[in-house]
């Protein structure tokens, strides 16, 4: 079977070598396309692939139609909003992710962004310490749980809300369950977003929630830009000169926000949450092993479609 690693944002060389070894040791053929500039390059590379490993690469209906031999797509990471699940399912293709494999990397960036915001981008002006401050986690999945663990080490008071996570899990993790999203935003100095991008969550974080942040509140987004109502974010940042928005997922109106609120917004130039040597290895090798398990014994443990 031909396994194609298709990563516009490449894995580390060590991770690529590890993936290659797992694929070849299992008797499969390894192929790779990195830093491609156009979707047509990806379509050509995937034309005879039986398996695909991707990151945030767009796997749309056109690509799926062009990849007639494809049996499985593994998103080496958590969010699979970049994959057209309907088209994949219709084509009989299994789609999987590698949950948790890059969670610590993203969680560390959350803490990094929180400190960067609290210290006014290290400008030299007086900032504040995150110790003793309140941290609200919107959702309590793998990344969020890692953030909670790290934040505990910093002496933060943590609360969370997640309709899909057991309340007991929060309590066991020393996290206070929030009674509503409104309360989460109103009662925390720093709120960190960890919801996936879906039809339901699109544009769901706007004026109603952001304007509830307490004085000096910080909103951190390492999840997806699509969950923010960007026009309303801009309005609230205009009305509330005390609040900040730091994100690993650059909004569509980033240029305007940077121009208008230079000191109070920050966006990584390229999504960096999962871009560590460790996360590359964890997610990349997990993806390769899942593909081998699928072809060896039909294992679909991490199927999402």
Q: Is 144 in the site for ligand 3PG (CB under 6 A)?
A: no
Nearest approach, Cβ of residue 288 and ligand 3PG (Å): 15
User: Using alpha carbons only, what angle is made at residue 157 by residues 164 and 185, rounded to the nearest 5 degrees?
Assistant: 60
Both tokens assigned to 264:
């109070």
Q: Measured from the CB atom, is 9 or 43 closer to ligand 3PG?
A: 9
Q: How far is CA 273 from CA 47, 49, 120, 222, in A?
A: 30, 28, 20, 7
In the list 31, 70, 74, 77, the residue contacting ligand 3PG (rule: CB under 6 A) is 77
| Long-range contacts formed by 38-42: CB under 8 A, 24+ apart | 39/63, 42/6
Among 55, 146, 157, 225, the residue binding ligand 3PG under the rule CB under 6 A is: 55
Whole-angstrom Cα distance, residue 71 to residue 27? 17
Q: Based on the shown chain and the rule CB under 6 A, indicate whether residue 157 belongs to the binding site for ligand 3PG.
A: no
Cα 195 to Cα 201: distance, rounded to the nearest angstrom: 8
Starting at the edge strand found earlier in the chain, the sheet holding 94-97 runs 29-34, 2-7, 51-54, 72-75, 94-97
Decide: is 141 part of the binding site for ligand 3PG (CB under 6 A): no
Letters for 8-27 (x = contact with ligand 3PG by CB under 6 A, - = none) are -x------------------
Query: Which residue is associated with the tokens 């993806």?
Result: 287
Residue 102 in contact with ligand 3PG, rule: CB under 6 A = yes
For the CB of residue 54, give the shortest distance to ligand 3PG in the complex, in Å: 8
Q: Scanning the structure block, which residue is given the tokens 């309140």? A: 134
Angle of helix 142-153 relative to helix 103-118, nearest 10 degrees, comes to 50
- Looking at the Cβ atoms of 77 and 251, the one nearer to ligand 3PG is 77
Angstrom distance (rounded) from CA 269 to CA 271: 7
3-state SS, 57-100, equals: CCECHHHHHHCCCCCEEEECCCCCCCECHHHHHHCCCEEEECCC
Structure tokens at 285: 């090798």
Closest-by-Cβ residue to ligand 3PG is: 77
**With binding defined as CB under 6 A, does residue 56 bind ligand 3PG?**
yes
Told to check if 159 binds ligand 3PG by CB under 6 A, we report no
Taking CB under 6 A as the criterion, the residue among 16, 79, 83, 130 binding ligand 3PG is: 79
Name the residue nearer to ligand 3PG (CB basis): 81 or 235.
Answer: 81
Q: How far is the CB of 291 from ligand 3PG (least distance, A)?
A: 16
Site size with ligand 3PG, rule: CB under 6 A: 11
Order across the sheet with 244-247: list the strands. Answer: 176-177, 157-161, 134-138, 190-193, 218-221, 244-247, 265-267
Candidate segments 41-49, 111-119, 211-219, 272-280, binder of ligand 3PG by CB under 6 A: 272-280
Shortest CB 34 distance to ligand 3PG, Å: 13
Mark 230-269 with x for binding to ligand 3PG (rule: CB under 6 A) and - for no binding.
Answer: ----------------------------------------
Q: Which of 53, 190, 271, 284 binds ligand 3PG (CB under 6 A)?
A: 271
Q: Could you list the residues that contact ligand 3PG (CB under 6 A)?
A: 9, 55-56, 77-79, 102, 271, 273-275
């Amino acid at each position: 079977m031909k396994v194609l690693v298709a990563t516009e944002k490449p894995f580390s060389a060590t991770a690529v070598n590890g993936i290659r070894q797992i694929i070849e040791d299992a008797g499969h053929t390894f192929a790779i396309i990195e830093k491609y500039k156009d979707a047509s390059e990806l379509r050509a590379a995937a034309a005879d692939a039986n398996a695909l490993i991707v990151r945030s690469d767009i796997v749309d209906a056109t690509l799926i139609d062009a990849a007639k031999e494809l049996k499985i797509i593994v998103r080496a990471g958590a969010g699979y909003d970049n994959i057209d699940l309907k088209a994949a399912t219709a084509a009989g293709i299994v789609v999987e992710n590698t949950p948790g494999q890059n969670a610590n990397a993203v969680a560390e960036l959350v803490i990094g962004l929180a400190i960067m915001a609290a210290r006014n981008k290290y400008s030299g002006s007086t900032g504040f310490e995150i110790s003793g401050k309140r941290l609200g986690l919107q959702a309590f999945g793998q990344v969020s749980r890692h953030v909670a663990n790290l934040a505990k080490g910093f002496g933060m008071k943590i609360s969370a809300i997640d309709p899909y996570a057991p309340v007991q899990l929060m309590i066991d993790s020393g996290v206070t369950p929030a009674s509503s999203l409104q309360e989460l935003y109103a009662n925390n100095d720093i709120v960190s977003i960890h919801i996936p991008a879906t039809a339901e969550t699109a544009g769901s974080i706007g004026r109603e929630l952001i304007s509830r942040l307490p004085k000096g509140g910080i909103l951190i987004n390492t999840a997806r830009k699509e969950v923010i109502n960007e026009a309303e974010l801009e309005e609230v940042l205009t009305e509330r000169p005390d609040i900040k928005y730091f994100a690993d997922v650059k909004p569509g109106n980033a240029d305007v926000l940077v121009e208008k609120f230079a000191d109070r917004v920050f966006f990584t130039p390229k999504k960096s949450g999962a871009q560590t040597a460790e996360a590359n290895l964890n997610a990349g090798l997990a993806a390769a092993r899942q593909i081998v398990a699928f072809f060896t014994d039909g294992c679909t443990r991490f199927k999402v479609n």
